[in-house]
Amino acid sequence: MGRERADGCTGFRVAAGAVVVVGAALVAAGVFTPDERPGRVLVMAGVVGAYAAVVADLRAVAAVAALGAAVFVGFLAHRHGELTGPGDAWSQAVPIGFAAVLGTGYRHLRSIGAEARPVTRITAHGGGVKSASRNRRRA
């Protein structure tokens, strides 16, 4: 799953994910006030989950999820990039990691479905089904 693209482009994928995360943080900061942390974390989680659903490289997904959580805690929950400030900002960042896991699972399930062979039906003259699928073994 994560090793299907071992072509050395992980850095480019992480850089693209970083741009997406920073853009999402700017949108979240512009739309929600500092007191509306749930809205801000949902924007970040949605973007990280969508990124994980598109990118196959698990290392890039993990790096972007960690960056998304750090940006949320440092700039959206606290101010000035402070990662150790007061409050429970790290516990509020858990949905970002959960969204990355869901996006990766969605991508994996979608890739399994793409590999399945299509089902065909062959009907006889009487309307009965001779073979319901090409996936069955021949006896």
Averaged confidence pLDDT in the chain: 84
Q: What are phi and psi of 89, to 5 degrees?
A: -65, -35
Reference 69, options 94, 46, 34; nearest CA is 94
pLDDT one-digit tens code per residue, 105-128: 999 998 887 666 666 656 656 665
pLDDT one-digit tens code per residue, 18-41: 999 999 999 999 999 999 999 999
93 and 73 in contact (C-beta within 8 Å)?
A: yes
pLDDT of residue 2: 46
Q: pLDDT confidence of 79, banded at 50, 70, 90?
A: confident
